[in-house]
Structure 1
Amino acid sequence: MSSRTASSPAAPPGHPRPPAPASGLDRFFRISARGSTVGQEMRGGLATFLAMSYIIVLNPLVLSGADAHGDVLGVPRVAAVTAIVAGVATIVMGVWARHPFALAAGLGINAFVAITVATTPGMTWPDVMGLVVLAGLVMVVLVATGFRTAVFNAVPEALKTAIVVGIGLFIALIGLVNAGFVRRLPDAAGTTVPVGLGTGGELAGWPVLVFIVGLAVTAILVIRGTRGAILIGIVVATVLANILEAVFHIGPSVAADGTVNPLGWSLVAPSVPDWAAPDLSLLGHVSLFGAFDTLGGLMASLLVFAILLSVFFDAMGTSVGLAREAGTVEPDGTIPDLNRVLMVDALAVTAGGGASGSANQIFVESGTGIGEGARTGLASVVTGLLFLLAMFLTPLIHLVPFEAVAPALVVVGFMMCAQVTRIDWSDWGAALPAFLTFILMPFTYSIANGIGAGMIAYAVIRAGQGRAREVHPLLWLVAAAFVVFFGMGVVRGILGLA
């Protein structure tokens, strides 16, 4: 891969040509070539970690239920493996693929894993984690054979742009929901409307104020071009949150005893809990083919397929969006070292299952570090080292509530959505699938769902226009796979497996 120059998107127009590499570190990570500095990479890596660190707290809560034998993974153990797998995978991404993409346990997959254990008779945690490992191994093969990259190249430009915009909307929605600014609300009939403003249709509570202040500070600093704007916004919001918690003792939205406080912090209250040594006993606690013995080959294979399709396209879509935002996409539309990026992601899925922490994936919150200036793998190395450090300093993570990092996600979402102007809206055959792609990501809370709907729509509409030859054969194959994916419930019913 040739090194990038000052004319690439990584360096804003009008800026001088980047200086020659000043050190071996600079040459290895191509820091100057991508228009960055070591300071930017450090700030970006820290910003990404702060935006993602909640996963060390949230992943154990998602995977906290008991399996068929009554076994529980345990919050401390899951927190430890969540941190170590995220740390190692992110460092590998930085050193080998050299992109500012961080990885951690994917929220969509961990919820799927938890639901599978809770609702499938006989399934144990080692069994379901074995399915995740198998899906990861299949992905490794698909990347090694070039199939995954070929699918990426078969996606039309309009859908690639829509993926970027969709991820921007998705990131912004995550920020708004994490801050309690957007919530599900009951209507007059006692049912629910999809979303609403704040609590009971009104903005209330100190945590929401922290979000609003943080958003205002971050937006003003970004617009003014202040160096370190996003990180400064997170720090200001964090300091305010800790002061408010110390004075008013607000507490979390759901206490340890189950008490609900609608005006509380969305996950944990800013605090410094007692220190505990990391427990890594879950590493290797997996049964590779246990689910096949429990459920039978067909049902277990369908579950592997569901996991595979989700992680396959989540990574592809996320890497497109982040690379475009970082300005590391080549003039011909390709992403440097894409195969390495996808291989690290596939290995992270496998490792996450093998550690009983669920599949690890590229996180959309990496956009926070990119918004702070990260352009190279050095930022990922910083993020990864902070995850490893977090195994031993987990209490410090509790100092930064969701509400403090949510403003950064909203601002980064705005930056990514700005690419919507690249879509040719006069070509309805491409524009409508693009619209479905970016609108369904936030509305279904899934990147894969948006990509699937867009690909199916693109293939069907082009065929209806009499332009089926414009659809790449691989796109037809992927569209067919998504039809099966979306109709999984029907398929299970037909086969008597529901």
Structure 2
Amino acid sequence: MDTFFKISERNSSVGNEVIGGLTTFLAMSYIIAVNPQMLVAAGMPFEAALTATCIGAAIMTIAMGLIANRPVALASGMGINAIVAYTLCLGGVNVDWRVAMAIVMLEGVVIFILVACGLRKAVMDAIPASLRHAIGIGIGLFIAFIGLKGGGVIVSSESTLLTLGDLSSPVAIVSLVAIAIAVILQVLNVKGGLLISIIAATIVGIPLGVTPLPTSWNFGLDFSALAAPFQTIPGTDTMAIVQVFLQPALLLFVFSLLMSDFFDTMGTVVAVGQRGEFADKDGNVEDIQPILMVDSAAAAVGGFCGASSITTFVESASGAAAGARTGLSNIVVGLLFVVFAFFAPVIGMVSSSATCGALVVVGYLMLSDVAHIDWENIEHAFPAFACIMGIPMTYSITNGIGFGFISYVVIMLVTGRVKEVKPLMWVASLAFLLMFILA
């Protein structure tokens, strides 16, 4: 096992990998509760949605561990599942959930082909170092923002958009406890500190009524969503995937989802790579091709399983920060997904307040790259700034990257430095511009 996963070679240990895997799983476990609820809104049976979410995440996370040997976990992506439920199925498009899954699967197939041709890696190589750093920094702010918002420390406001939450509320108290424990343990360099903060905050939340206690148990699996794109739509004799080609307008959603998946993963891998020590100071990720191949296949598998698009999770950075360096941590995460396909109510006890501390600390750790950006050089600094601010402020990694790309090529164009822009940066920037126009 040590030889296969290169545990000693990467200065890790089995204990570090297990703790890292547990930390990642707890940080991303909310998807077990959230994704099925969204898919139920789209018309899918709850048990089928739960099974697809857990089993799909388990298969692709383990595959990433065995093939790429990096601590990058995968599950149904937030954002894309919202598009599936509230735009494709419930919005003006109003298609059957099986058709939505066919769109997701086709998007995954296209991305896989692009990766196999080397295009996705080539685009990453074309990104200036300053923007690579900016992506990681922006995601760090995004992660911290997610933690603070979910923990009630910051809340929405009609007058100021955001404001400080009620810190005397039970939800905020648990969040503050989680932050305090996570920071203190980080200062003391305690192994597994982030995991400890999650567990401790979950326990503290029980008497405060923040930690939801299980009310029912589900021990069964439902694979009725499997092969959703190839199922016949009720009331017709047409397979779901055929419907996509019968309605050409749906192919625009294939492009839209493709852009989100394509660049979200690029940003996430850089961010996790920097925390997991497999990305250099310029944001170049070591052996990135197998990571991108597995992630691209995951999108197609997600659509096939009926789980929405499965993608790399930025919460993997919490596991990397906890010590995970190899794919062994993925095996831990994957097995836990299988287990909690039966015991979802247990994971339901981990509230967003409990994970707040871990996400805030990870966000802090990821901001260290700000020192690597040359802020005196506006040609590179402003696009980096646009990217950093765009990610958390639009609640989208893809949007932030798009702002950075477009501003970079525009600045280089007006300053007469067009030759410094690699061709794929022009292509990517035009694609982003098209995406923004069509959105």
When the two structures are superposed, what TM-score results if normalisation uses the length of structure 2? 0.95
- Residues 1:314 and 2:264 are matched in the alignment: yes
Q: In structure 2, what is the Cα distance between the partners aligned to 1:280 and 1:181?
A: 39
Find the aligned partners of 2:408 and 2:93 in 1 and give their Cα distance.
Answer: 39
SS in 2 for 1:238: helix
Matches within 5 A, 1:444-463: 444-463=394-413
What is the letter of the counterpart of residue 37 of structure 2? L
2:12 to 32, 36, 41: 36
Mapped partners of 1:238, 1:392: distance in 2:
20
Match of 2:190 among 226, 235, 254: 226
1:280 to partner: Cα distance: 1.7
Are positions 1:87 and 2:58 aligned together? yes
Q: Helix, strand or coil for the counterpart of 1:361?
A: strand
Matched with 1:209 is 173
1:382 and 2:332 correspond? yes
Residues 397-420 of structure 1 show CA distances to partners (whole Å, capped at 9, x for unaligned) of: 122111111110010010001111
State the distance in 2 between where 1:331 and 1:446 align.
Answer: 24
Answer whether contact 2:147 2:360 (CA < 8 A) is retained: yes
* Counterpart residue number, 2:375: 425
* 1:182 and 2:154 aligned: yes
TM-score (normalizing by structure 1): 0.84
C-alpha displacement of 1:394:
1.4
Q: State whether residues 124 and 266 of structure 2, in contact with CA within 8 Å, keep that contact through their aligned partners in structure 1.
A: yes
Aligned: 1:141 with 2:91: no
Conserved 8 A contact 2:51-2:221: yes
- Is residue 291 of structure 1 aligned with residue 244 of structure 2? yes
Deviation per CA, 1:173-215: give whole Å up to 9, x if none: 110111111221234xxxxx421221xxx32321211110111
Q: Would the alpha carbon gap of residues 46 and 354 (structure 1) be closer, same or farther in structure 2, given more than 3 Å must change?
A: same
Determine the C-alpha separation between the residues in 1 that align with 2:41 and 2:245. Answer: 22
Q: Please state how far the C-alpha of 1:349 moved relative to its aligned partner.
A: 0.6
Pick aligned residue for 1:278 from 210, 221, 230: 221
Q: Distance in 2 between matches of 1:415 and 1:431?
A: 21
> Aligned equivalents of 1:475 and 1:481: distance in 2?
10
Aligned 8 A contact 2:102 2:228 in 1: no
Q: Would the aligned equivalents of 1:131 and 1:289 in 2 still touch at CA under 8 Å?
A: no
d(CA) in 1 for partners of 2:13, 2:340: 25
Q: Given residue 379 of structure 1, which amino acid in structure 2 is its aligned partner?
A: S
Maintained 8 Å contact 1:241/1:270: no
Gaps of 5+ in 1: 1-24, 67-71, 188-192, 246-264, 490-498
- Does structure 1 retain, via aligned residues, the 8 Å contact 2:153–2:164? yes
2:58 matches 1:108: no
1:170 aligns with 2:137: no
Question: 1: CA distance between counterparts of 2:265 and 2:294?
Answer: 10
Structure showing greater Rg: 1
Q: CA deviation at 1:74?
A: 2.4
User: What is the aligned-residue RMSD (CA, Å)?
Assistant: 1.5
What is the letter of the counterpart of residue 203 of structure 1?
Answer: L
Counterpart position of 1:99 = 70
Counterpart in the other structure of 1:256: none
Q: 1:50 and 2:3 equivalent?
A: no
Which deviates the most, 394-403 or 87-96?
394-403
Aligned-pair distance for 1:455? 0.5
SS of equivalent to 1:104:
strand
Is the 1:127–1:290 contact (alpha carbons within 8 Å) kept by the matching residues of 2? yes
Q: Report if the CA contact (8 A) 1:434-1:454 is conserved.
A: yes
Shift of 1:172: 0.4
* Deviations 1:21-61 (CA, angstroms, capped at 9, x unpaired): xxxx1111111121211100000000000011110100112
Check the 8 A contact 2:130/2:282 in 1, yes or no.
no
Q: Which among 291, 306, 313 is matched to residue 341 of structure 1?
A: 291
Q: Distance in 2 between matches of 1:332 and 1:113?
A: 35
Deviations 1:119-151 (A, max 9, x none): 234511111111110100001100111111101
How many pairs were matched up?
428
Deviation at 1:272?
5.1
The CA distance in 1 between the partners of 2:269 and 2:262, in whole Å, is 11
Percentage of pairs with the same residue: 41
The answer to whether the 8 A contact 1:126-1:290 is kept is: no
The Cα of 1:333 is off from its aligned counterpart by: 5.3
1:195 aligns with 2:162: yes
Q: Structure 2, unaligned stretches of length 5 or more?
A: 230-239
- In terms of mean alpha carbon deviation, does 399-408 or 434-443 score higher? 399-408
Q: Using a 3 Å threshold, how does the CA distance of structure 1 residues 51 and 28 change in structure 2: closer, same or farther?
A: same
After the TM superposition, which of the residue ranges 26-35 and 427-436 deviates more from structure 2? 26-35
Q: How far apart are the structure 2 equivalents of 1:428 and 1:400?
A: 43
Q: Report which stretch shifted further, 446-455 or 29-38.
A: 29-38
**What are the superposed Cα offsets for residues 206-253 of structure 1, whole Å, 9 maximum, x if unpaired?**
1211110111011011011112111111111011112333xxxxxxxx
Whether 2:39 is the aligned partner of 1:63: answer: yes
Instruction: Give the Cα separation in 2 of the matches to 1:181 and 1:149.
Output: 38
Is 1:478 the counterpart of 2:419 in the alignment? no
Residue of structure 2 equivalent to 1:243: 207
Q: Distance in 1 between matches of 2:71 and 2:29?
A: 16
Out of 304-313 and 174-183, give the one that drifted further.
174-183
Letter in 2 for 1:195: L
Alpha-carbon deviation of 1:331? 7.2
Which whole-Å deviations, capped at 9, do the CAs of 1:341-369 have from their partners, x for residues lacking one?
01111111111111221101100111111
Aligned pair 1:160/2:132, yes or no?
yes
Q: Is 1:77–1:280's contact at 8 Å kept on the other side of the alignment?
A: yes
- Specify which of 305, 318, 326 is matched with residue 276 of structure 2: 326
Amino acid at match of 1:90: T
What is the CA-CA distance between 1:336 and the residue it aligns to? 2.6
Runs of 4+ in 1 over 4 A off after TM superposition: 330-333
Partner of 1:496: none
Match of residue 232 from structure 2:
none
Distance 1:33 1:458 in 2: 39
Letter in 2 for 1:285: A
